[in-house]
Amino acid sequence: MNGEVALWYKRYGAMEYSLWEGEEEAAGIAAAMAADGEGVPKGIQFPDGRLIPAEEWPAYEAARERRERYEDEWVPEQHPKRKVTAPFGGGQIEIDARDPEWLGMKP
């Protein structure tokens, strides 16, 4: 990918970067990364050399707010359930009724 911006972040104690087509896309990735615990966004670098630290990056803050709002409003889709006996000593569990019929079948 020949990106227009570089998102800088720390993952497992090491500094890394990824290239993205634009600032909004990078901000969304940074917000998801932080929320999922996959890394710590440190900032963005533009081709002209400008740097914006994460704590001063308006697009990142806006993406975090959008993500938080979405998570607060998100209601998981409910599907019918069925009970099966889990293999390997797991006892009775409920699974999604749309899952394959062979799940939980006894040999």
Range of weakest confidence among 8-17, 33-42, 93-102: 93-102
CA distance 95 to 83: 6
Residue 69 vs residue 89, higher pLDDT: 69
> What residues contact 86, with CB distance under 8 A and at least 6 apart?
92, 93, 104
Q: What is the pLDDT of residue 106?
A: 72
Q: List the domain boundaries for the chain.
A: 5-73
Tokens of 76: 């998981």
Model pTM score: 0.64
**What are the pLDDT digits (tens) for 50-82?**
999 999 999 999 999 998 887 766 666 788 998
Q: For residue 8, which of 65, 51, 37 has the smallest C-alpha distance? A: 51
